[in-house]
Each structure stands twice: as C-alpha cells, then as structure tokens.
Structure 1
Amino acid sequence: MSKVPSVIHWFRLDLRIHDNLALRNAINEAENRKHLLRPIYVLDPNIKSKIGVNRLRFLIQSLQDLDTNLRKLNSRLYILKGNPVELLPKFFDQWQVKFLTTQVDIDPEIVDQEEAVEKIAEEKDVFIIKRVQHTVYDVYSVLKKNNGAVPLTYQKFMSLVNDIQVKEAKDISKVVSDYCKPTDEDLDAYDVPKLEEFVDESTLTPCKYPGGETEAIKRLNNYMAKKQWVCKFEKPNTSPNSIEPSTTVLSPYLSHGCLSPKLFYHKLKEAESGMKHSDPPVSLMGQLMWREFYYTAGAGTKNFDKMVGNPICMQIPWVKKEEYIKAWAEGKTGYPFVDAIMRQLKQEGWIHHLARHMVACFLTRGDLWVSWEEGAKIFEDYLLDYDWSLNAGNWMWLSASAFFYKYFRVYSPVAFGKKTDKEGLYIRKYVPELKKYPTAFIYEPWKAPKSIQNTAGCIIGEGYPHRIVDHEKIHKENMQKMSSAYRMNKEKKAMKRSIS
C-alpha cells in the first residue's frame, strides 16, 4: 500500500495530452496536495475477441504514443488489466486514492461502468471530477436547451448550438514535479503491452493510419495548411473509391480521442477566417457537426443502438439471412463495387463515408433486406473510427429507419461507383481476381461473355461469385416492403395517440 495518497486520471476515450482538462485537473490536484499522480488506462484482457485487429493495433499504438508523451511530462501511463468495476476499488485502497478525474461519455456500456465505479468511489471518499472533452459541445446541455427533447434533424441541432461559444483548446506543457512521481513499486508491470502479445503481426496488412496523438496532430496540421482545399471541401464532391483517401481520415483520431474535437473546430475556424468557404452540412465543419448531432441524439435516446425499444427508430420486419451477412462482410456478394468497399474496410479499417452509404444501403433496404443492427456489429469490428453513437446513427439513417425517410432513393451497386471511377481502378485493387476484366464489364462481370471471362482468368461462379441478388428486381420489391412498413408504423402511432 502506498504511503503517499494518489490522484488518478482515468483515460477512457481521450488518449491525448492536449486539450485534456481532466488530466490537467489531476496534475494540479497532485501538485497542490503533494500527492502521487497515476494516469491509468484499463485494458480488457479479452480485447482481442471484442474488436478487430486493425482497431486493436490502432489502440495499442495510441497507448504507446500516450505513454511516450506522458513521459515527456515526467509522468507515465499505467496499464491495468481487467474489469474496471472489479479492479479500480482494489487500486483505490492500494494507492490511497483521494481524487479521480476522467471524461464524460454517452456509450451505455461505459456509462454503466462509470456509475458503478463512482458509487464505490463515493463509499471510499474518492472525489471525482468529470470533464466534457470528447465532443465540441456538452450534449446534455444541448438537450436541456431543447427542453429534454432530441433534435431529430441536423438543422434543428445547428440552431441549438449556433450561439454556444466553444472554449479554446489548451496544451499541457508543465512538467510534473518529482515528488508526484511514484517510485514505490515494480513499474514495469504497468507497461503498455506490445501488439505481438495479442496477434501475429506478420499476418497484418501494412499500417496506413498509425494510432496516437502525435500522428493526429501531424495529420491535422498537414490538412489545415491547405486552406484552399479546406475551404472548398464539399463531401458530396469527394470520391468514395479513390485509391488514396479524398478526405482527411481524421475520424479514427477523433473516435479514440487522439485528437481534440475542439482543437479541430478552432483549426477549421482559423482556416476559414477571411476566406470564402463551403458551409455545413457538406463542409469539413459540417462533418464535425454531424458527429455532434449523433452524439446528442445518442445521449437522449433510449436503446439508440437497437431497433426494438428505440422510440425514434422505424420498426421494420428485416430478415436475418446468415449467408447474406457472411457474403457481405467478406466482400463476396458478386457486386464488385460493394465487394471492393468491404474488402478495403476489412484490410485497412477505413472506407470513405459515401462508400459506407453504398454498402449500408445494399445490406438493408436496397438489396439484402438484413437489419441495420447486423451491419452495425460488423462495422464495430472492422472500423478504426468505430464510435457508438455515430455507428448507430448512420446505420439508422442509411436504412431509412430514422433521420432520413426517402427510402426510395437507393444506391446502385453499379452506377454509383462509375461516377468517380469509370475505369474501375478501385475494384482492380481490392478485387484482384477481376483486375484483367475489360472496363466494359468491371462493374458487371456477370455480363461478360464466357470467352472474355476465360481470357481474364476468372470465371464467374468459380473464381468470383455469382450475384447474390438481382439488384434491378430486388430493390423494387424492397421499396414495396419499406412502403408497407412505413404505413404500419404510421397506423400504430395514430392508434397510440387515439388511446392516449
């Protein structure tokens, strides 16, 4: 047991030093009271079975970078392995903890853990400080401003936050005093684990997006230096199938908290200052505000990540077809554009936002009639930038279950990709079995004559699968199903109103 009381900063979502108010509070408390400072991260020993390898690699890299940056401040990161609810009470006693600082989040699983830990902390007289720093705005204050109601449109959300001042993001540069640095135990036991402890690194594809605050700041500064590009950015005009990303790919750094959304906000304001620029919702600022919109909706909606019991979600009789889910997840639907997107996602952990639109629509209302919850689970596994509220919100939008109701607007798995990549270079990269197909058939290889299939070295049905469904036929049938579901939901709501 430590003879000197401790202050803990619990890193959960914000794996960074800059704009970390909770960490700043922990440092100040430790300095003022001459307590020991212990920044911690609680790692689930079974994490390998819960998230995909790309996200696991990104997380480990982010933790390693965080530890490096903390050491520059004369501190370090303590990795604790286990369940926070079972683990932290033991360390409260062992380290004589007096203060605990952490971040506010809305993910129900995290909130449940935090509430359990807070109850124990109260019993042990541990004072807790929580800071809003994973979002630009305090989403609970936004909800309060709207009389507790969830803003169901982007425009309504923007009207609520339009007059809210966003405080500047601040760095932490003060070096921690030696008397706040623990030396009373085997510190090696708390080191950040190496990736090789979880996976065979030789089986991984090359890392395109290294995790960590250092890389986040570097990437942010590189893009913000391109003021003309920032000001002209419009999401619909970017390419979902460019070989190199046509967007910033800052989303994984935001979701892991390696980049402060407030810092991003102010850097965007700075880049736009005095210049003609695009506006929300299509601008870069608009994209950041979409994140805030979904966080607000997620914070105020019960069962936000489910269909049943979710008050804003359309109840639709989806059918669970395991063979469809498997083919879609593995990029073997027989539609090259869809398959290329899913294979890129599995290999690299990231795909363009419009590519997400394509495959989400295809899985749900467009073609396969599978629940958006199934797609959300697979995205949770694959995405580097997985975020509980954004994942659920976007899937509801693309399945026309909430927020967006023009279900008759269906993405074509053939025509949509051709708009920005007529030659099919993207398909040739991620679906290499089709790389020798003539351009005329690269999006529709089933139309190629047998002689061309032979020449290209890939027979449809052998080297590449037959189409899982006929899009032209099935999407029309699915529109009729959506129409019926909408009508039934409307009738149920009318009945509830008449009873009440």
Structure 2
Amino acid sequence: MSHSSIHWFRKSLRLHDNQVLLAAATDCHRFCPLFVLDPSSLPAGTNARCFLLESLWDLDRSLRGVGSRLFVARGSPEAVFPGLFRAWGTTHLTFEAATDPASRRREVAVAELAAQHGVEVTWGAPHTLYDTHRVLTLNGGKAPLSYKQLQNLLAALRPPEKPVPALTRDHLQGCCTPCHDANFRVPTLEELGKDPAEDGPHLYPGGETAALARLDALMERTAWVRGFEKPETAPNSLSPSTTVLSPYITFGCLSICTFWWRLDGVYQGRQHSQPPVSLHGQLLWREFFYITGTNIPNFDQMVSNPICLQVEWDNNPQHLHAWREGRTGFPFIDATMTQLRNEGWIHHLARHAVACFLTRRDLWISWEEGLKVFEELLLDTDWSLNAGNWLWLSGSAFFHRYFHIYSPIAFGKKTDRDGAYTRKYLPVLKDFPAKYIYEPWKASRAVQEQAGCLIGTHHPRPIVEHRAASKMNVERMRAARALKGAQQEPPSSPKSQRKKPKIEQH
C-alpha cells in the first residue's frame, strides 16, 4: 500500500548511500524531504552556518534533479511536526538515528508525537561504520577505552556495509512531491542572524557535490592515499596536508561507508599504511569516539563523567579570551587560532598544540572551555569527536602521558623554521627575521621597528612566562593523577613508588 512520507534529513545531507532515504521513497505516492532548522541546535559560528546552508542548497538542487525538492521548516521539531503531519496527510516518517544524547532525546520525542498522529516511524542507522550497540554488546556493555581494544572488538565483526545506490528518478516513479510556498525555502545567512561579511574565504564549500568532487580528486592520488600516515603530515602547511573531508562527513554530505570502500579500492593488492595512522585508521578513530560517547555518561563534561580526571582548573576569562582571539603573544598559537576563526579548519596537530596550551601546558584552563570554542568555530565540530579529543588532549582521559607536551615555541620551529604559516595568518609579524618569528619579544627595539611591529603595541607580549607556567602545570597534573590513584587504591595497600617521568617537549 502506497503512503505519504516525510523524510527528515538530520545529518545525512546527501542522496548517495542513504538507506533510510531510499526506504522513504519505497511504495510512496507523496514524498516530502524535510530539513528542520532548529535555532537551539544550529551551528554557532558563521562559517559553519554558511557550510550548512550551502549543503542544504546543494541538497535541494540534487533533489530537484530527481524530480523532488527540499522543504526547510523553522522551529523545534517537536513544534514543527504535528502541523506538517496534519497538513501533508503524513502516514510515514523516516530519519537517521543519532548518537549524541540531546539528539537521541529529540528523536524519541518526535517518534512519540508521530505515534500520537498515527504516523509510522522508520529509524535508520546512525552515520557510523559499525553498529555501535553491537560493538558495546561484544564488550559486555562497556565502552572500549583504548584504540587497540576497539580494533580487537571489530576483528570479530564483518567489514562495514557496502554503500547503497544513490536516490534517482527511478526510485520516485509514481511518487510526487507537492508544491508549497516560499516559506519552505532554504534561508539566507542573514536570516539565520549572521553577517555575510563575517564569513571566511570559502575554502571548503558545503554540499554533497563538493564532497564527492573532493573525494574523487583525492582518490586519484593513489600513492599518497596508500602512503598516508597522519603523524607525518604538516600542521602548518600553507595548503592542507590532510584530506579536509571531515566537515563533509560531519554534515553527512559524504557517507562514511563510501569513503571507507573507496579507500579499500585504492588499497587492494598494493602495499599501504595501516591503522591507526592510515586513512582507514583515521575513520576508526572517529568510530572509537562515537562508541565511547554513546555509552559514557556526561561524556562532554568533567563532573560526573566516570572516565574523566577531576582537575581544579583555573578560572581566567582574560586568558581564555586571549587564546580564543589569537592574542596570547605566542605566534604559533595565535596564527593557529586565527586560521581557525577565519577558515573553520586547522590541522589535527595544530589542534593538539592549541589544546595543550590552553589546558595542561600553559594556561591551566578547563578543556570544557576549549570544547565550547571549537564547537563554535570548527566546520567539522561533532559532539562525540569534540568531547573525546578534548578529554584526550587535556590529559583527562584516554591519554595518560601528561608529560608529553607541545611547546608553543619549539613545535613551530621544528615544523616550519622560517615561519611561513605564522607570516600568513599574522601579517603583523611578517617582516620579522626567522630568528625571532616564534619569539618576537626577544628582538631588539631596532629589529621590531624595522619589522614595523612593536611587541606590546602592535602584537601582545606573552600572557604567561612559558617555562614557569609549563613546569608548574606539569606538577599540577602529576598531583591530580596521584590523587586519583590514591582514591582508587585499597586502604590497606601501600602506595606505589614511581620515578617522575621526563617531560617530553615537541
């Protein structure tokens, strides 16, 4: 029996490999693809909102190409759906399931509303490679807390599902999409409360079309794909040294399974790098944080998070603001944060460096504050990945080598001695000699005047004394970890005596 169907696009903003979208079109006489712009869950930053709108415009064009269109409604889903169920005579609702807690609560509420209106609901799998619940079941209901443990669990499962065909006109034979007024069009950036003048340089346009074009171009570089090892890529390259497919995966413009199997096709029969450093390995890191985030309570906060080290972080709004705005006085940190604000993307090692600087290295500010800034500024912000990586980089969970730290001075010198990256994103420093590009405050007044930049006037002095702050914070982290160990130790057992680990600076 044919039905009137709404397909609720959430993250999978694409026609390719979208199984639940195909289910919506099956035996359907009335087909309404819908995206709900909910003010409470919109990306916070201008760059990310622009990427979302471009993805919706592209999705609308693709749907029109197969004889349909995209409807965009505004408001909370709980407020929007009851009216649409009645107005459109809806009998079926399909959507992709979510993994983060807020989205899961929302889909349960919508499913309950649908049941009240006599609408049958079909939930599709979340955009992961493996069934997260199946992985958790294999591990006795507990989240794996190491990458190796995840690999061992996945070895017992079959490879990820092969992608399904893209939606075509043939799937929509005998199925019509009704015409509705302009209230359902994709809005402009101004209508979402953002000034287009604040938008970045559009290095990574949103949408499935751009995602597949970028994927195709990368897969043509077969030797690069096979030899890819993420730790060996450059954090301060003037053009990205990694794929920059993460924003497209985050918004679902690119299917994670499509990416996996395209890589598999390039790997077949040839020598290639292996997880965790390979491109397959990077997708498994994503899987790791999705699985842990699904199962661990309060994953995105310190308090009541069972795996998170409890730390008394400092509360310093001035330092936090300086870090966010790229005004710390440390050129590599400031250049990285400037790139993030302007472009919405930075290399993973650059993320490591600025996160380490904010938390356990120099400023001793909570990783939750960094999480909020990344959530606002990143194009590829993703609840599970953002929280998991901040837990890791702050030394609060997963990663226990707290003495392995990124120097805001030495790290830049090691990876870009002349400072081309810093000169690009901090043009105020562009005329400093390479000797001073990472420590301009050490230059004489004459050198500063010749460079046209007086430190303390045109560019800030360092907001902390790096060596002293670093030494103090390593001790604070050591003490926090020792306290946790003492709390977990049985009262009758002696405390273990350990040598202080040597601080590793990078």
* Letter matched to residue 209 of structure 2: T
Q: 1:170 aligns with which of 159, 164, 167?
A: 164
Tell me, which stretches of 5 or more residues in structure 2 are unaligned? 494-506
Give the Cα–Cα distance (whole angstroms) in 1 for the partners of residues 467 and 119 of structure 2: 62
**Would you say 1:372 and 2:367 are equivalent positions?**
yes
Give the Cα–Cα distance (whole angstroms) in 2 for the partners of residues 374 and 123 of structure 1: 40
* Letter matched to residue 26 of structure 1: A
Give the Cα–Cα distance (whole angstroms) in 2 for the partners of residues 315 and 290 of structure 1: 24
Q: 2:180 aligns with which of 181, 186, 196?
A: 186
Q: 1:20 aligns with which of 10, 18, 21?
A: 18
Question: For 1:100-499, what aligned pairs fall within 5 Å after superposition?
Answer: 100-162=93-155, 163-175=157-169, 177=172, 179-183=174-178, 186-198=180-192, 199-494=194-489
* Letter matched to residue 469 of structure 1: V
* Letter matched to residue 39 of structure 1: P
- Offset from partner CA, 1:371-429 (integer Å, 9 cap, x none): 00000000000000000000000000000100001101110011111222110000001
SS at match of 2:358: helix
* Letter matched to residue 12 of structure 1: R
TM-score by length of 1: 0.95
Give the Cα–Cα distance (whole angstroms) in 1 for the partners of residues 197 and 149 of structure 2: 49
Aligned-residue CA RMSD (Å)? 1.7
Against the structure 1 CA distance between its residues 177 and 293, is the aligned structure 2 distance closer, same or farther, given a 3 Å change threshold? Answer: closer
Q: Name the counterpart of 2:4.
A: 6
Aligned pair count reads: 489
CA contact (8 A) 1:21 1:133 kept: no
For residue 73 of structure 1, report the CA deviation from its aligned partner.
1.3
CA contact (8 A) 2:25 2:172 kept: no
Against the structure 1 CA distance between its residues 247 and 435, is the aligned structure 2 distance closer, same or farther, given a 3 Å change threshold? Answer: same
Against the structure 1 CA distance between its residues 39 and 496, is the aligned structure 2 distance closer, same or farther, given a 3 Å change threshold? Answer: farther
* Letter matched to residue 15 of structure 1: L
For residue 473 of structure 1, report the CA deviation from its aligned partner.
1.4
For residue 45 of structure 1, report the CA deviation from its aligned partner.
4.4
- Offset from partner CA, 1:202-225 (integer Å, 9 cap, x none): 343321000000000000111011
Against the structure 1 CA distance between its residues 497 and 229, is the aligned structure 2 distance closer, same or farther, given a 3 Å change threshold? Answer: farther
- Offset from partner CA, 1:167-224 (integer Å, 9 cap, x none): 21122243154752233x5332211112343333234332100000000000011101
Single out whichever of 113-122 and 234-243 deviates more from structure 2: 113-122
SS at match of 1:155: helix
Against the structure 1 CA distance between its residues 47 and 262, is the aligned structure 2 distance closer, same or farther, given a 3 Å change threshold? Answer: closer
Give the Cα–Cα distance (whole angstroms) in 1 for the partners of residues 286 and 27 of structure 2: 32
SS at match of 2:461: coil
CA contact (8 A) 2:97 2:107 kept: no
Q: Name the counterpart of 1:37.
A: 31
- Offset from partner CA, 1:56-90 (integer Å, 9 cap, x none): 00000000000111111111111010011121122
**Would you say 1:73 and 2:73 are equivalent positions?**
no
- Offset from partner CA, 1:20-51 (integer Å, 9 cap, x none): 01100000141xxx3x1111000024777x51
For residue 303 of structure 1, report the CA deviation from its aligned partner.
0.5
Single out whichever of 331-340 and 266-275 deviates more from structure 2: 266-275
CA contact (8 A) 1:302 1:309 kept: yes
Q: 2:49 aligns with which of 52, 56, 65?
A: 56
% identity of equivalent residues: 47
Single out whichever of 347-356 and 444-453 deviates more from structure 2: 444-453
Tell me, which stretches of 5 or more residues in structure 1 are unaligned? none
CA contact (8 A) 2:46 2:198 kept: no
Give the Cα–Cα distance (whole angstroms) in 1 for the partners of residues 92 and 138 of structure 2: 31
CA contact (8 A) 2:201 2:342 kept: no
* Letter matched to residue 247 of structure 1: T
* Letter matched to residue 368 of structure 1: L
- Offset from partner CA, 1:267-303 (integer Å, 9 cap, x none): 1111111111111111111111100000000011110
TM-score by length of 2: 0.94
SS at match of 1:40: strand
Give the Cα–Cα distance (whole angstroms) in 1 for the partners of residues 41 and 428 of structure 2: 34
SS at match of 1:180: coil
For residue 98 of structure 1, report the CA deviation from its aligned partner.
1.2
* Letter matched to residue 60 of structure 1: L
Q: Name the counterpart of 2:91.
A: 98
